[in-house]
């Protein structure tokens, strides 16, 4: 069924300006973010955006295998995007599809400019993204989760990146496309950017937009991405504040002294002695025969 026939039968935006899920054109779907979701990974994140449910895990920096892929001046970033067989309405084949390979490459290209890969020569940083449930805009949501997972793993970054898909539906520009809007709409524009630096790291378009419509779409995408970026910062600050409190409680408490005894002052590590420099003033002459 084409988009034109779909609009004639049941419009995606009603006369009140509401979309199929009750949102306004500039309104995001409900978003939930969480980091440290997997205990066995070096860093992990979970995102729910609408009906999207996505887990991202990071391993590394670690030794690269096979070794012939190693780069002498930087780490190799590898991204593996996969959709579970039950993530879509019709069962997906277990084998990775061409689309999954493409999205893996797109996510890697969106993340690479924000990473200090030159700090880890001949190493590998692996990012695994698993889509448990898909509902449109999964590549943007996956990039948002992958960026959080990298931050959770302690990988040095210039800035966090976040993504949001904008598009044209029933002649109107809308943000955060759902699955039906992605399939039946007139255009789809995935956007990923680093709001703190004002830089775009991903811009794609499927469909046709005028220059004025594209300008408006990018402005709406920037506003939406800044909101997602604020959520990323909030979850990171909240999580690491809890970790800081837990560490502080363990280190700052001193065992209580017995009654009537004065509390011992905290022990301090003695200063480390200065290293002894070797002296080369002695003459090393060969012994006389």
239: confidence class by pLDDT, cuts 50, 70, 90: confident
Q: Give percent of the chain with pLDDT exceeding 90.
A: 71
Whether residue 275 is predicted with pLDDT greater than 60 in this model: the reply is no
Q: Domain ranges for the chain, please list them.
A: 3-248
Question: What pLDDT shows up at residue 8?
Answer: 54
Pick the CATH number of 3-248 from 3.30.230.70, 3.30.1330.60, 3.40.50.970, 1.10.8.50: 3.30.230.70
Q: Is the pLDDT of residue 6 over 60?
A: no
Q: 71-109: per-residue pLDDT in tens?
A: 999 999 999 999 999 999 889 899 989 999 999 999 999
* Torsion angle in degrees (nearest 10) through CA of 97, 100, 101, 103: 160
Indicate the pLDDT class of residue 235, thresholds 50, 70 and 90. Answer: very high
Whether the pLDDT of residue 130 is over 80: the answer is: yes
């Amino acid at each position: 069924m084409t988009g034109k026939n779909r609009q004639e039968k049941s419009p995606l935006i009603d006369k009140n300006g509401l979309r199929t899920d009750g949102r306004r054109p500039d309104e995001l779907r409900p978003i939930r973010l969480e980091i440290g979701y997997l205990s066995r990974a070096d860093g992990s994140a979970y995102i729910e955006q609408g009906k999207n449910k996505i887990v991202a895990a990071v391993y590394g920096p670690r030794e690269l295998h096979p070794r012939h892929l190693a780069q002498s001046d930087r780490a190799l970033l590898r991204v593996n995007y996969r959709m579970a067989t039950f993530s879509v309405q019709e069962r997906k084949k277990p084998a990775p599809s061409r689309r999954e390979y493409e999205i893996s490459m797109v996510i890697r290209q969106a993340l690479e400019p924000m990473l200090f890969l030159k700090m880890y020569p001949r190493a590998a940083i692996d990012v695994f993204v698993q889509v448990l449930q898909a509902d449109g805009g999964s590549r943007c949501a996956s990039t948002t989760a992958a960026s959080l997972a990298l931050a959770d793993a302690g990988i040095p970054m210039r800035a966090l990146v976040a993504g949001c898909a904008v598009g044209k539906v029933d002649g109107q520009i809308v943000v955060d496309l759902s699955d039906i809007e992605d399939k039946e709409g007139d255009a789809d524009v995935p956007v990923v950017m680093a709001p703190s630096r004002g830089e775009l790291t991903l811009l794609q378009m499927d469909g046709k937009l005028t220059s004025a419509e594209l300008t408006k779409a990018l402005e709406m995408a920037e506003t939406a991405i800044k909101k997602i970026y604020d959520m990323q910062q909030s979850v990171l600050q909240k999580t690491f504040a809890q970790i800081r409190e837990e560490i502080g409680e363990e280190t700052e408490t001193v065992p209580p002294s017995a009654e009537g005894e004065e509390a011992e002052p905290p022990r301090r590590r003695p200063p480390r002695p200065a290293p002894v420099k070797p002296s080369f003033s002695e003459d090393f002459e060969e012994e006389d025969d």
